[in-house]
Amino acid sequence: MTAELLVNVTPSETRVAYIDGGILQEIHIEREARRGIVGNIYKGRVSRVLPGCRRLL
């Protein structure tokens, strides 16, 4: 079976579809007004750690 990843990008949205064996398996639509932050990488510096958050770092 063949697998395909189709990507369609416009100024207002990005659509990604995963097709396996001619059958749609997944589709993701991200609109410009609702851009998510999942998968983004940020660089920063911790200046202060709150007492309840010490275990996170």
The predicted-structure confidence for 20-40, as pLDDT tens digits, reads as follows 989 999 999 988 876 667 777
Is 56 part of any domain? Answer: no
Is 54 part of any domain? Answer: no
What are the helix and strand counts (H, E) for the chain? Answer: 0, 3
15-38: burial string, b at 16+ Cβ within 10 Å, e else: eeeeeeeeeeeeeeeeeeeeeeee
Question: What range does the domain containing 15 cover?
Answer: 1-34
Q: What is the pLDDT of residue 5?
A: 93
Is 15 part of any domain? Answer: yes
Q: What's the mean pLDDT in 8-12? A: 90
Domain count, the chain: 1
Is 39 part of any domain? Answer: no
Is 1 part of any domain? Answer: yes
pTM for the predicted model, two decimal places: 0.55
Output the average pLDDT for the chain: 81
